[in-house]
Amino acid sequence: MVLLTLFALVAGAGTAITPCILPVLPALLSAGATGGRRRPLGIVTGLAVAYTIAIVALASVVKGVGVSGNLTRDLAIAVLLGFGVILAIPPLAARIEAWLSRLSRFVPTPKRSGDGFWSGTAMGAALGLLAAPCAGPILAAVISVSATRGASLKLVVIGFAYAVGLSAVLLLLALGGRKVVDRIRHAGRSAAVQPALGAVLVLTGVAMAANLDTRFETALAAHVPSFLTNPTKSLEDSAAVKRRLTALRGKSKFDSGTAVASTGASLPAAGVALKGVKTPSLPRLGPAPDFQGTQRWFDTPGNKPLSLAQLRGRVVLVDFWTYTCINCLRTLPFLTALDARYRSAGLTIVGVHTPEFSFEHDAGNVRRSISQAHIRYPVAQDNGYATWNAWGNQYWPAEYLIDSGGQVRHTQFGEGDYKQSEAAVRALLAEAGARSLPPPITAKAIVPSALLATPETYLGTARADPQRLRVYKGVHDYGAPPSSLPLSAFALTGTWQATPEAATAVKGAGLEATFQAADVYLVLSSAGGKPRRIRVLVDGRPAGTVTVTDQRLYRLVHLPRAERHRLTLQVANGLSGYAFTFG
């Protein structure tokens, strides 16, 4: 943890000189150059505290992963505008400063009045909320763990270290700006300084309300080398950091230490029989929790709930999935083949459908997806995550293999390793007394390309990664398409209405992205179920039209190989996009 905290400190300092922090600088320099001598210190103190709260505490309350830039951004803009107006009217600024100084008498400080510390703290808190979306991999992990498990002392320490690194550099900038302003005052122009700085704050707030800052950042990202726009990227993406972030997230409850999420590289080519696998020695990982808090059940007698007690004596494979997850969908051919081959030999597969998006709670949508995937084994709806939490699960897909006595014996997180999974099933069936088993199955599945470079990308404000996509809650005009984008960057165009979960096309809506993959998928829905179309262009050339009716995952692009391309989407009004995945 000590090393990860140091990494966070350095990464925070690097964040202070990235384009993401630019909107904060005019306000920082303007507010820090006025008032008492300790105002810059107050600003960075308030910034560090608010930043830590935003990335750790707020994530514990917000559903999903990521820092929403909506309410906090609006609040910060309001503070900027208010503070700017106050500075622009010197008599009003003097009154408020005196009032804050009187309040400070109730708090023990080295100097109780006239130093600007407390007014600076209030301003810094607003700036901390503005800076919170500037989160790299380290903070993304902190936010993710906070959102799913709640805040802990370890997460607060790492988040605060990041904030301290950021604040230290900003303090140096604020002190430097104050020296410049002091020289202007000594030149006999002090009367005009404070109103001018107040005007800078107001203009900054207006520009941010109009999203001009995001357009500027997009332009910088498109035309400035990445090592200048994100100087700490190599550090945060290093193997040392990734190992410690994995430890920070922790293991699943039944992680045996050998079953690791796979990209599918170990999957044999389509049509190759799964043969020649030695019977593995499977550890006992603990008693399996029962199904809890489920809603509808499918493909059971009378659609009644199952319990593990009812299944005692059989080998049970529990599969956590959701029907818009491409990784889950790619495992279904293997699971359905496994069910067909070994059900009569004593295997029962139970799918636990734990939804990622709100429309996945709908029983009709789940039933339709079960039919389309030709699933014949039982499936339970786990809308409240009760079974997910009972198992301590963290992944889609995740498979837990239970022996005939109710002990978890094997786990698989992510795609791939189908040979090992089938070998484990055969071993437990033999252990349960099966005298003869059918020959191994022939699995057919899509193998994600080893050249895949673009990660899953969300369009809703709650989980959108601000390093790759800027999206704001409510209706916004995102303007014209950028001329170029770095790899794995996305840009909305035209007018969209964004919610924490999705972005919906309003007028002249489109999306631009630069991706590296062979297949592009997008979770889509259409208002009222009315058929609506999305036109797809790759590198400026038409690549097809997708008609959207159901709320599900759609494949937009299918190419012979994974390569870098520019994606352009022209989206009909009323279409909602949730998340991109790539293969």
Which residues have a Cβ under 8 Å from the Cβ of 201 and sit 6 or more positions away? 26, 27, 30, 31, 80, 81, 83, 84, 87
Please list the alpha-helical segments (H only) found in 412-476: 418-431
Distance CA 512, CA 219 (A): 13
Helix, strand, coil percent content, the chain, rounded in steps of 5? 45, 20, 35
Which residues have a Cβ under 8 Å from the Cβ of 371 and sit 6 or more positions away? none
Distance CA 459, CA 532 (A): 19
Q: Does an H or E element contain 577, and which? A: strand 575-582
Which residues have a Cβ under 8 Å from the Cβ of 470 and sit 6 or more positions away? 211, 214, 217, 218, 464, 491, 492
Question: In this predicted structure, what is the pLDDT of residue 283?
Answer: 87
Which residues have a Cβ under 8 Å from the Cβ of 170 and sit 6 or more positions away? 16, 21, 24, 28, 43, 44, 47
What single letter denotes the amino acid at residue 151? A
pLDDT tens-digit map of 563-576: 899 999 999 999 99
Which residues have a Cβ under 8 Å from the Cβ of 566 and sit 6 or more positions away? 485, 512, 513, 514, 538, 539, 540
Q: Does an H or E element contain 10, and which? A: helix 2-15
Contacts for 54-58 with beta carbons within 8 Å, 24 or more apart?
Answer: 54/128, 54/129, 54/132, 55/132, 55/135, 55/139, 55/142, 55/143, 55/146, 55/159, 55/162, 55/163, 56/142, 56/143, 56/146, 56/151, 56/155, 56/156, 56/159, 57/146, 57/151
Helix (H, G, I), strand (E, B) or coil at 159: helix
- Note whether 231 and 14 are within 8 A (CB): yes
Q: Nearest Cα to 196, choosing from 428, 29, 316, 409? A: 29
Question: In this predicted structure, what is the pLDDT of residue 438?
Answer: 87
Q: Is the peptide bond before 440 cis (omega within 30 degrees of 0)?
A: no
Question: In this predicted structure, what is the pLDDT of residue 168?
Answer: 81
Question: In this predicted structure, what is the pLDDT of residue 362?
Answer: 87
CA atoms within 13 A on the CB side of 380: 23
Question: In this predicted structure, what is the pLDDT of residue 185?
Answer: 59
**Which two three-digit tokens encode residue 43?**
């600003």
Low-confidence ranges of the chain (pLDDT < 70): 1, 17-24, 26-27, 29-37, 54-76, 79-80, 87, 93-94, 96-120, 122-123, 128-152, 181-182, 184-194, 197, 211, 213-253, 255-280, 442-452
Distance CA 336, CA 581 (A): 23
Distance CA 473, CA 497 (A): 7
Burial 80-90 (b: 16+ CB within 10 A, else e): bbebbbbbbee
- Note whether 158 and 59 are within 8 A (CB): no
Distance CA 208, CA 360 (A): 35
> Domains of the chain by range and CATH?
2-246 (no CATH), 251-431 (3.40.30.10), 457-582 (2.60.120.260)
- Note whether 455 and 516 are within 8 A (CB): no
Distance CA 447, CA 356 (A): 23
* Cα 320-326-330 angle, rounded to 5 deg: 80
Question: In this predicted structure, what is the pLDDT of residue 357?
Answer: 83
Helices (H) and strands (E) in the chain, counts: 18, 15
Q: Does an H or E element contain 414, and which? A: strand 408-415
- Note whether 335 and 304 are within 8 A (CB): no
Question: In this predicted structure, what is the pLDDT of residue 462?
Answer: 79
Distance CA 43, CA 542 (A): 51
- Note whether 354 and 396 are within 8 A (CB): yes
This prediction's pTM: 0.57
* Cα 80-86-88 angle, rounded to 5 deg: 100
User: In what side-by-side order are the strands of the sheet with 347-353?
Assistant: 262-263, 408-415, 398-402, 315-321, 347-353, 379-381, 297-298
Distance CA 519, CA 558 (A): 5
pLDDT tens-digit map of 92-136: 766 766 665 555 454 444 444 445 666 667 667 777 666 665 655
Residue 329: count other Cβ atoms within 10 Å of its Cβ.
22
Q: Is 212 exposed, middle or buried (0-12, 13-18, 19+ CB in 10 A)?
A: middle
Helix axes 117-131, 71-88, angle to 10 degrees: 140
Question: In this predicted structure, what is the pLDDT of residue 335?
Answer: 92
Q: Is 374 exposed, middle or buried (0-12, 13-18, 19+ CB in 10 A)?
A: exposed
Residue 502: count other Cβ atoms within 10 Å of its Cβ.
25
- Note whether 162 and 136 are within 8 A (CB): no
Give the position of tokens 């293997």.
Answer: 334
DSSP 489-551: -EEEEEEEEE-SS-EEEEEEEEEEEEEEEEEEEEEEEEGGG--EEEEEEETTEEEEEEEE-SS
Q: Does an H or E element contain 235, and which? A: helix 233-236
